[in-house]
Amino acid sequence: MAVGIFDSGLGGLTVLEAVRKRLPEQSFVYFGDNAHAPYGVRDAEDVYNLTTAAVERMWEAGCDLVILACNTASAAALRRMQERWIPADKRVLGVFVPLIEALTERSWGDNSPPREVAVKHVALFATPATVASRAFQRELAFRAIGVDVEAQACGGVVDAIEDGDLILAEALVRSHVDALKRKMPHPEAAILGCTHYPLMHDTFQDALGADVKVYSQANLVAESLADYLERHPKMKGSGTESLFLTTGDARRVSDRATHFLRRQITFQSV
């Protein structure tokens, strides 16, 4: 059995790299729905249908546990999937909760009532679909009170990163940070609510200023997954090999992924 890592494109590879380092004994299947990327500009119904189709494909590949390493899918589809779609012997987890647990200084799985936390002003940078879903604010409200969240939809950043145009990506990030700061001049913390955005972490940090704590997801998700597998050992697999699947052109996606991670990655088309 392998753990599945799903994303609409290449951004989830940042999560895969973190969990591989944290769990070197675990096998993984990475699934990129590159033929339909990016999800961030799609409506919620479209995201739900694409995500469920991808998760079913990962179940067929032997992944009883799937991580939605796509914030848009986590925001727009996960709750609906968990409430009415996922069978009892499968698990699908998102990437928002580990981030919010870190922000609110909670232990993994702490479901105590919401309470006041140190951070009061939080900037959220995410795709248009994630921002529209308000999923981050909803999950935060389960854990904290008195936190002001200002969300900024970062149109174009994912496309620029996927195309390898980091000059354009940097210019867009700085523009989006400027727009956010016009609405919230002094954020105390910033959430990078897309798994592509860690590649632009230094640009976000520079544009926001050294006094703003910037949270990105990969390492937090890795620690959360390690904790989850300790508590649910039946979800652990054996072996250390990773399989890479894509709905896109395997050669093109492999080339971009190799450039993305700076190591050889070979995808198979499905």
**Catalytic residue numbers, as ranges:** 70, 194
Query: What's the rounded Cα separation, in Å, for the pair 251 and 127?
Result: 27
**In the numeric block, which tokens belong to residue 140?**
């935060």
Altogether, the residues listed in the chain come to a count of 270
- Contact indicator for 69, 196 with CB cutoff of 8 Å: no
At 6, is the secondary structure helix, strand, or coil? strand
Distant-in-sequence contacts of 115-120, Cβ < 8 A, 24+ apart: 115/143, 115/144, 115/145, 116/144, 116/145, 116/146, 117/144, 117/146, 117/147, 119/147, 119/188, 119/189, 119/213, 120/146, 120/147, 120/148, 120/188
Query: What's the rounded Cα separation, in Å, for the pair 59 and 235?
Result: 13
- Contact indicator for 170, 200 with CB cutoff of 8 Å: yes
**In the numeric block, which tokens belong to residue 88?**
């009892």
